[in-house]
Structure 1
Amino acid sequence: MAIERLTDDADRQVFGTAPLRILHLEDSDLDVELLAAVLDDIDHPYVIERVMTRERFAAAAQSGCHDLILADYVLPTFDGLSALAIARVACPDVPFVFVSGTLGEDVAVEALKGGATDYVTKQRLDRLPRTIVRALAEVRARREQRAAEQALRELNETLETRVEERTRELADANAELLRQIAERERVEEALRLAQRLEAVGQLTSGVAHDFNNLLTVISGNIAFLERVATDERSRRRLDMMRGAADRGARLTAQLLAFSRRQRLAPTPVELNHTVASMRDLLQSSIGGAVRIEMTLQPDLWPALVDPTQIELVILNLAINARDAMAVGGCLTIETANVRLAERPTRPEHPGPGEYAMVMVSDTGSGIPAQVLDRVFEPFFTTKDVGKGSGLGLAQVYGFAKQSGGGIRIDTTVGEGTSVRVYLPRVERGAQALPSKAETVDCAAIRGPGAKPAILVVDDDSAVREITVTMLREAGYAIREAGSGLAAIKALDGDPCFDLVVLDFAMPGMNGAEAADEIRERWPALPILFVTGYADTTALVKVGAVGEERIVQKPFRDGELERKVAAALRNRPAGRLRLVADKAGGT
């Protein structure tokens, strides 16, 4: 009998590297030897466990430690079909091959239907190696198929979860993209609003300054004409002209407040006291139909603001609130300490920091969204003609920003509006050290009984003429300069002036720069600003921030003469301080 040799590598791969474990059901010793001889020729290590009874076969099958079952069909106390039934239950994945000498075709077909892998007659044992290879290959294929099916089931089971996770990731990414787009649009809109307000502010401040110069000439000449007017009709007309000039001055003051060019005298202010003291004024201004409520924080921080301007701000907001409430309502004023950490998202919002906050709320009609973006623009109003100038909130905006704070508006259409004004809290500031200076005796230069000498500096000749005329009539010795540089040269030639009356807005060296140079070289020389607007930052730098050192154009009711006299009373007597000799000016 020629045994079929296994030379194909693919055939050998089905055996693997471990010995082949065979469960052999056979009662004939001779047949066992013949089978062993065939297996030896396969050229692969193997281990045979031989059994002959039902009990031992069943126990061996249940152990699950065999790769192949070879079984005779007929045994003295047992039969192959019964063994096949036991194997299908105990180890269904192990291939079952009948090896019998009495297995007919009908029996073989029945065995295959019962689950046998194959059958080999003992007369053709040469077929056994190929049968074993095919049986093991089928087992291996079934295991790989089951593994693939299991992997597919697991993939299907996790597919829905992975789809949900990916969908969620895409939704989150889309939401973040939409958030970034919305944030970019918000920032762009805030930038456009800030640029619009800044452009309007620059235009407004320039117009107001020029307008104040014109009003100064008008008011000054009205004052001169009043001295010579004798008939009642002329005086009445001059009064009408003065009233119009005063109204124009108030209008420019509101414009300067919006453009942050108004003069401020910030001092520590107890807002609770300010608000409480205004109750009667507010009630009379808004009428008895509106109820006023106040909620004041007991330990409120002092605010560093101009006390007069904050009263105007509160009054403006109260009047706006009254106009928003058609038939009565409730006006609530609250104060609170506020710490802000977030960065501003709109031009009017305050930056991070600590603030004393005052809030004015109403139960009125609220502000529509399309109006809210424009409420701070000067001359924008929703009120009827003649009932509002559109400068109220613009003035509040300018005051808050110039003071170093900001505003927030919360509004709901049909329910009401709350306006929060944030004002910087008072903090301890550093004090400058006194500097050494040389001195010169101006009393000896001027001589006894000399009139106080005033240097008037203004680039507008018409305004300068009004100023000089007023001061000369008040009894002062006057010298004029048309620019900051001319003023420095005049002081280089004669430093013994008693006062410099200095216009703030001038081409070339402006008033702040000229004051800087004067204070550096002649630190004891008092300076009085005459201006249509004033950059507070520059005024703080030169030390002239108080009301007593600034005269607003146009001049009102002898204000120029009074403040000049006050500045002269406070000047050093007889000696003028110098820090260095800078001959030739700047």
Structure 2
Amino acid sequence: MIDGALAPLRILHLEDSDLDAELIEAELENLEHPVVIERVMTRDAFAAAAVADRYDLILADYVLPTFDGVSALGIARAQCPDIPFVFCSGTLGEDLAVEALKNGATDYITKQRLDRMTRTVVRALAEARARADKRAAEAALQALNQTLEARIAERTRELAEANAALQAQIVERERAEEALRLAQRLEAVGQLTSGVAHDFNNLLTVIAGNIEFLERAVLDERSKRRLAMMRGAAARGASLTAQLLAFSRRQRLDPSPVSLNTTVASMRDLLQSSIGGAVRIETMLQPDLWPARVDATQIELVILNLAINARDAMAVGGRLIIETANVAVAAPPTRPERPSPGEYVMISVSDTGTGMPPEVLARVFEPFFTTKEVGKGSGLGLAQVYGFVKQSGGGIRIDTVPGEGTSIKVYLPRDETEADGDDVKPEPVDCAVRHPPGSTPVLLVVDDDAEVREVTATRLVETGYDVREAGSGLQALAFLEADPCIDLIVIDFAMPGMNGAEAATEIRRRWPALPVLFVTGFADTGALAQAGVVGADGIVQKPFRDGELERKVARMLSARQAPGLRLVADRGRRS
């Protein structure tokens, strides 16, 4: 019999014979369970009725006038494979029955033995229920396995994260301990150095003072020469003690707002002569650079010191790149020389030299530590830079790759008067004082190609103009910050980095009265128009045609109005 609730047993019956259908339905009453039978006789009716979960059992004749049981079995396996399928036919032989079972039938009954109907139906339903229970158990097991795998994966992830966090804490602690040891070592050396420098200054004061007294009394030239040698040695000793005091952060500083762009531009000739012609100097100066609050004289010494170190790191020449930028530091320092969080004006000096190995980088700021040959360096250069920068409230970062080069970034505090957003009015510059009326017009030629720049400048010099030169748009801006009293800018359009149109736009923004003449072989007319160029008079095509450059320069100079007094931005200041 059938177990479970008294819900009716739903049977789909495929049978074309009314008599056989009655006999089968009568036999199903022996189940002692409510039965609902839906009888169909055609393919379409069977296909429409054979839907999953709609019936508990399918009974099907094997041979029908327009249909057959094999086709019905195929439809049932495709549309409702979980419903038990039982053949009930008077023509089903043993071979056909076996073939039907192979094709997916649950069981079969011959119409001659309908007394087997009850047992066959009960067994078919029991097997179907067993299969359903098995599928449910397998699904539950799979779900459990997936849940277990998910829990294991989650726990593994949590353990990995905890381990990574622990490793990070260990690394951070080791870094902090190393930074503390380095800071303590530098502080101890600084205190010792400060005391030694103080004592040496006292000794040198006595020596230098007595040399001065002796020079007044000595008359013979030989003794005077000896005293001069002694005075020179005392001066060198004083210079060394000054460097020691700089490292120990005991030197006297006079901080004020300084435009580092102006400083770099004004030092270019000095730097080139100091490092020699084998090293090419390149500058990348940020146009809207904040003013730094720093001692103007000492920062020049820092830049020169770093440039000389860079030169010494390049055995057979190379490139020295000086860059300025506005920088906001957010992360706390991981080494004592690095800057604390805040806003800084950064100046970096980079080279294409040998770089530093880790063991050298670890000691690079220690006084008297040097990798140079005896007599080639005192080991106080970077120590002096370190002391000055830290005393000024900034920091240093060194990025180096052995065999490729080194970049030393110096972070100097931003001038607070600018940082607070005060409306600083530019001080007027009377260009008539620097270039009196009737004096030779001053032109600034800007071109990244040195040979083209030389040709352009030579033609203009031969015409009678006073010509200055710049190798990039940023160099032109730095030059104008140092000396805005220029009568005309002659600028190339196609330059790397800041092109001529971009440079001209910035020049017009900051010095609106200054005329600009473009020299170009190919130019984006849209960019030129945006830079303020109207018509062909503002452009000279390359190569130069006879007299075109000279004519257009003369025309622009003659058209310029009010050449006497021009109000411009003061060095390092903007309204």
TM-score scaled by length of structure 1: 0.55
CA distance in 1, matches of 2:262, 2:12: 106
**The one of 379, 404, 410 aligned to 1:390:** 379
Determine if the alignment matches structure 1 residue 326 to structure 2 residue 315. yes
Change (3 A) 1:274 1:141: same
Give the letter aligned to residue 193 of structure 2: T
1:72 positional shift: 8.2
Contact 1:411 1:417 in 2 (8 A): yes
More divergent stretch after superposition (194-203 vs 382-391): 194-203
More divergent stretch after superposition (290-299 vs 244-253): 290-299
Give the letter aligned to residue 387 of structure 1: K
1:320 positional shift: 1.5
CA distance in 2, matches of 1:337, 1:118: 90
* SS at structure 2 position matched to 1:365: coil
Give the letter aligned to residue 100 of structure 2: G
**The one of 402, 414, 418 aligned to 2:391:** 402
1:172 positional shift: 8.8
**The one of 222, 231, 237 aligned to 1:248:** 237
Determine if the alignment matches structure 1 residue 117 to structure 2 residue 104. no
1:394 positional shift: 0.8
Deviation sequence 1:106-134 (CA, Å, 0-9, x none): 94675355336154887884x65443321
CA distance in 2, matches of 1:307, 1:299: 19
* 1:349 corresponding residue in structure 2: 338
**The one of 62, 70, 80 aligned to 1:85:** 70
* SS at structure 2 position matched to 1:323: helix
CA distance in 2, matches of 1:294, 1:107: 101
Contact 2:61 2:69 in 1 (8 A): no
Deviation sequence 1:36-76 (CA, Å, 0-9, x none): 5523xx2x22223467xxx3598357612443355789xxx
Deviation sequence 1:123-146 (CA, Å, 0-9, x none): 884x65443321101122334456
1:393 positional shift: 0.9
* 2:19 corresponding residue in structure 1: 27
Q: Which has the higher contact order (CA 8 A, sep 6+)?
A: 1
CA distance in 1, matches of 2:279, 2:120: 107
CA distance in 2, matches of 1:277, 1:61: 95
* SS at structure 2 position matched to 1:91: helix
Deviation sequence 1:278-312 (CA, Å, 0-9, x none): 34443443344444455544554332222221222
CA distance in 2, matches of 1:421, 1:56: 93
More divergent stretch after superposition (182-191 vs 249-258): 182-191
Change (3 A) 1:298 1:138: closer
Determine if the alignment matches structure 1 residue 270 to structure 2 residue 256. no
* 2:194 corresponding residue in structure 1: 205
Change (3 A) 1:145 1:221: same
Kindly report the root-mean-square deviation, in angstroms, between the aligned alpha carbons of the 2 structures. 4.9
Contact 1:72 1:98 in 2 (8 A): yes
Give the letter aligned to residue 111 of structure 1: A
* 1:543 corresponding residue in structure 2: none
Determine if the alignment matches structure 1 residue 67 to structure 2 residue 56. yes
Size of the aligned set, in residue pairs, is: 404
- In the TM superposition, 1:115-514 aligns within 5 A as 115=101, 117-119=107-109, 125=115, 128-145=117-134, 185-216=174-205, 219=208, 242-428=231-417
CA distance in 1, matches of 2:23, 2:263: 120
Change (3 A) 1:149 1:59: farther
* 1:46 corresponding residue in structure 2: 35
* SS at structure 2 position matched to 1:383: coil
Give the letter aligned to residue 141 of structure 1: A
CA distance in 2, matches of 1:299, 1:90: 80
* 1:495 corresponding residue in structure 2: none
CA distance in 2, matches of 1:254, 1:238: 24
1:21 positional shift: 1.9
1:313 positional shift: 1.4
CA distance in 2, matches of 1:96, 1:295: 86
CA distance in 2, matches of 1:151, 1:348: 62
CA distance in 2, matches of 1:412, 1:30: 97
Structure 2 segments unaligned to the other structure (5+ residues): 420-575
Contact 2:61 2:68 in 1 (8 A): no
1:397 positional shift: 1.1
1:12 positional shift: 0.5
Contact 2:329 2:343 in 1 (8 A): yes
CA distance in 1, matches of 2:284, 2:230: 45
TM-score scaled by length of structure 2: 0.56
* SS at structure 2 position matched to 1:311: helix
1:163 positional shift: 11
Structure 1 segments unaligned to the other structure (5+ residues): 1-5, 431-586
Change (3 A) 1:383 1:28: closer
CA distance in 2, matches of 1:290, 1:30: 111
Give the letter aligned to residue 127 of structure 2: E
Deviation sequence 1:480-509 (CA, Å, 0-9, x none): xxxxxxxxxxxxxxxxxxxxxxxxxxxxxx
CA distance in 2, matches of 1:410, 1:37: 94
Give the letter aligned to residue 117 of structure 1: D
CA distance in 2, matches of 1:371, 1:191: 18
CA distance in 2, matches of 1:152, 1:210: 86
CA distance in 2, matches of 1:147, 1:299: 72
Change (3 A) 1:428 1:133: same
